[in-house]
């Protein structure tokens, strides 16, 4: 009995790699992110060069084995890396997470040796930026009803249709795209393809003008008789949707980590401000109305952290994380929104201005409850799991 308790505790203790990653990102963030992040936010610039630098630090291939040029870390390190980036800037955390867990993660999980050799070294070093396409204008949560079609022609598949809300849709060098190769609604009627930028018939459509996460690029992908060679099929024909659901199971951990970072960042700035801001001759932190808000925020961060690392631990052990990753994503994303809202309230009038950090966390947080499966979809996943 005693041994398992100890093991359980050790699982959630920060290891040396996590400490190293935390220090590295904080140092990097001070120099490379903080001075420019409001500029990127205002102009909606996707700072490609910054991601190349993150690639040099090994953060664009966190889970990729070293033989393919990655860092070869596990999910605890991955959660730490995303949350520390998001604690500074949600947009940067989001783009790093999407690149790692979706495009790179899909090829890592389902690619054959040739595909891995060809794409993973480029992605893990951020020589190439990755995109991933599942969502369409008419199909958000209902991904099985997709309209983008791939028809077999000789040694190729020809794709027609469009995807939207695609992270790095324009700047990405390669995209993993799910298209329909069978009947509508058939979960075995979809296939995953690796498509390189510059492939004829493959282009980016309009860029979304977003509430938050504005330095993370989101665009349409358009396929107009786009010919993809058969060797670019991931796994077997008809497995694309099943693969995508498995990729999203892991992806939920990354959005939980993203949410955790935003929740923690909101708490950081609120704590600091509450200690410095004086009303009626004393710091506002000394008033119970404010101190209790901070207590709630801190408790929620800890709970979100434990749920997220629990899912990470199961993922490291190769166990099913379907329910646990949904719980972590659902809870942490809601906490990100709650903490960001409270931070704005604690800052008062200044919380509503762009001169102070609270409003950006507030805008960035909302995507966490929507992207990679809405809170409502997470509840569906959780309730199905517990009602089995």
Does residue 232 contact residue 193 with C-beta atoms inside 8 Å? yes
Is there a catalytic annotation at residue 152? no
Does residue 336 contact residue 329 with C-beta atoms inside 8 Å? no
Q: How far apart are the first and last CA of the chain?
A: 29
Which tokens go with 41?
Answer: 């936010």
Does residue 130 contact residue 175 with C-beta atoms inside 8 Å? yes
Judge residue 109's burial from the number of C-beta atoms within 10 Å of its C-beta, 0-12 exposed, 13-18 middle, 19 or more buried. middle
Catalytic residue among 239, 342, 359, 372: 372
User: Catalytic residues, which ones?
Assistant: 372
């Amino acid at each position: 009995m005693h041994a398992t308790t100890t093991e359980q505790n050790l699982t959630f203790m920060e290891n040396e790699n996590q400490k190293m990653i935390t220090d590295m990102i904080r140092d990097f963030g001070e120099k490379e992110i903080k001075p420019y992040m409001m500029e990127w936010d205002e102009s909606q610039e996707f700072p490609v060069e910054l991601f190349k630098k993150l690639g040099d630090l090994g953060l664009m291939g966190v889970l990729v084995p070293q033989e393919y040029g990655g860092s070869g870390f596990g999910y605890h390190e991955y959660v730490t890396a995303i949350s520390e980036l998001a604690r500074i800037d949600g947009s940067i955390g989001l783009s790093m997470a999407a690149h790692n867990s979706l495009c790179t993660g899909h090829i890592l999980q389902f690619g054959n040796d040739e595909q891995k050799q060809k794409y993973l070294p480029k992605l893990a070093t951020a020589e190439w930026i990755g995109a991933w396409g599942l969502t369409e204008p008419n199909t958000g949560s209902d991904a099985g009803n997709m309209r983008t079609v791939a028809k077999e022609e000789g040694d190729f598949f020809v794709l027609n249709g469009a995807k939207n809300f695609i992270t790095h849709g324009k700047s990405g060098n390669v995209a993993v795209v799910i298209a329909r190769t069978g009947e509508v609604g058939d979960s075995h009627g979809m296939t995953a393809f690796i498509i390189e930028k510059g492939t004829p018939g493959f282009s980016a459509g309009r860029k979304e003008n977003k509430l938050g996460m504005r330095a993370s690029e989101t665009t349409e992908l358009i396929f107009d008789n786009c010919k993809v060679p058969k060797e670019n099929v991931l796994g077997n024909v008809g497995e694309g949707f099943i693969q995508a659901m498995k990729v999203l199971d892991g992806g939920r951990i990354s959005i939980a980590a993203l949410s955790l970072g935003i929740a923690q960042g909101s708490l950081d700035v609120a704590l600091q401000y509450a200690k410095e801001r004086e009303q009626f001759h004393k710091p506002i932190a000394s008033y119970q109305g404010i101190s209790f808000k901070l207590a709630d925020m801190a408790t929620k961060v800890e709970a979100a952290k434990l749920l997220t690392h629990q899912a990470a631990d199961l993922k490291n052990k190769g166990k099913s994380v379907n329910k646990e990753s949904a719980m972590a994503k659902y809870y942490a994303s809601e906490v990100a929104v709650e903490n960001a809202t409270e931070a704005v309230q604690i800052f008062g009038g200044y919380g509503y201005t762009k001169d102070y950090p609270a409003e950006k966390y507030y805008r960035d947080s909302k995507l966490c409850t929507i992207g990679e499966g809405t809170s409502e979809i997470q509840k569906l996943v959780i309730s199905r799991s517990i009602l089995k």
